[in-house]
Structure formats: C-alpha cells, structure tokens
Amino acid sequence: MRHYTVSPEDKGMRLDQYLAKDKPEYTRSFLQKIIKGGSVFINDKKVTKAALRVNEGDELVVIVPSIRETGIHAEDIPLDIVYEDKDIVVVNKPAGMPVHPTDHGAHVSGTLVNALLYHCKNSLSGIGGEMRPGIVHRLDKQTSGLLISAKNDHAHRMVSGQIMARHITKRYITLLKGHLTPKTGSIEAPILKTLGEKKVQISNHEKAKYALTHYQVIKYLGNYSLVEVRIVTGRTHQIRVHFASIGHPVAGDDHYGDPLDNETLKQKTGLSRQFLHAAYLKFKLPSNGQEIELEAPMPKDLKMTLKKLEK
C-alpha cells in the first residue's frame, strides 16, 4: 500500500500521469490497470478513471496487488542461472521462451515468470505489475541471453535506476544481412511504438523516443556480418529496427528482415529464429554497489549457423 499527497505543482495532472511521475518504476499500462481495477483511492473514495485530474492536497492511497493475487502459477521449468544472490537472479534465457504472460492472455504458462515464481518461491518484486513480477527489463521471445530479475522492490528500484541512468552495459551478438560498413559505427535514430501494433518504426514524430546503438563488426561470413552491438538505450526492438533501417536486417528476423533471405538461410544452416543473443552485462549489485560483469556463451543453434556459413 502506497500513500501520496498531491503538491501544488502537480495540481491538474491526470491521475495516471501523476502516479507515473512519482513512481517511474511502474509502467503506465500497469498503473492504468490498477486504477481501473479499483485499487486507487482519493480522499478515501475509490476512483477508476485514469484521466481524472488530481487537486492540490488530495490524499491518494494505492494498493499494489501482490504476486499471489495474480493467478500466474509457478512452474518447475529448468533455468540456466548465471548469477544469484538475495536480491537478484540473472538467467541465460533460451530462445523461444516468452519473458512474461501477456495482457491479452497469451503465454499463460511456460514463461520466464512462471519459472522464476517456482525457483524463487514467490519471492519476486511486485513493481513490474501483476503480469511481470520481478521483471526489470525484457528480451524478445526469440532472443536468447542474459536477463536480470529482482527478488524484492528495493532491488528492482536499484537496477531499474541504473537502466534509466544508462549505467548498465549491455552487449549483444548478432548476424546481419550484407557487409556492414564502416566496420565500427553508431546508429542514432528515434523509435516510435504504435499502439496496438507489434512493430516499431524509425520516426521523427514528437512521441518517438531517442535511441542509440553502437556496433563493431567482428567478421564477414559470406554475405553476412557477425557484429557485436552495444545499446545505450533499451527501446523495444531497438537493434532489429535500427539495423533494418540501414539495409542490414538481423538474419532470421521475421518482422523486419528479408523473408526470402531468411528462408534461404534456414535451408542452408537450419536457423529458425532471429540471430540475436544478449551476451554481456555489466552493472552494480543492489546489495553493496559492487560492479559485476556477466557473460553468456552463444547457444548451439547460433554456433551451428556460423559453422555452416564458414564452410
């Protein structure tokens, strides 16, 4: 349960905007959901409209649902744990595993959240919302690699704070169509996420978000480039849409890639998903501020793809 008092400078703000400003670790959609569900009270009266304007001096009470109230069940799914302490657990997520159930009911089982609930005995941060307990950041379903989850709200705030401040180093390994030149460079292009669509796009719209990607070509393999990528920002599909925008889509990407090339590559190497792996993380532990570096080896399917291309 959280308590708030509206200050003079926040007078007139929408309720969901006010809560998002005061608690940026909560997603806007999560806040709108709990408002609609009757978990927010203003001056002891339940409110269900996110667009309601708050007034100076209003007393707000927000009841955050606990993990046990969500209806998401713990499942005994094996996890490749790279690091764990009392605050966080870092896993090497396999390709094909969704990170969390979706709001429309898809992936109600078999997700990383289901596995974490079993492994952590329901001891996960509630900040991510009822569908994403413990989830601080995400990877696409078909992207493999390192992902941090928080066991408590303090750890969640500490890690998400590092992400927001861009103090966490994230490096990926990807295979791109064509020979990327120059071999070292950056892509700086704002990304717009369109409501209701599964794709994002490069856009100069006022709602587009700043995005920056650095890259280094490791080597060329046939008509492909094996590339190390460091993302400064962490926008939805950032790596995939950035490289597609300059004519070098991620190999195997069925959203932004070349369908004909993807099918040809699949026939030659067996690659059946996007070639994208979150290989490296550097961040500070919530418990003591110590900096830690973690790596996840490239999975077998991606290694086999490279081996066959080298031949």
Residues that are catalytic: 140
Q: At what angle do helices 259-269 and 300-310 cross, to 10 degrees?
A: 90
How many CB atoms are closer than 10 A to CB 299?
15
**Four-residue CA torsion sign, 117, 120, 123, 127:** negative
Q: At what angle do helices 28-36 and 15-22 cross, to 10 degrees?
A: 130
Length of the chain: 311
Q: Cβ distance 97 to 299 under 8 Å?
A: no
| Token code pair at residue 232 | 């400064």
Residues near 15 by Cβ (< 8 Å), separated by ≥ 6?
35, 40, 42, 47, 49, 50, 51, 52, 53, 54
Query: Which residue spans within 166-263 are E strands per DSSP?
Result: 169-177, 184-188, 191-193, 200-202, 212-221, 224-231
**Four-residue CA torsion sign, 130, 132, 137, 138:** negative
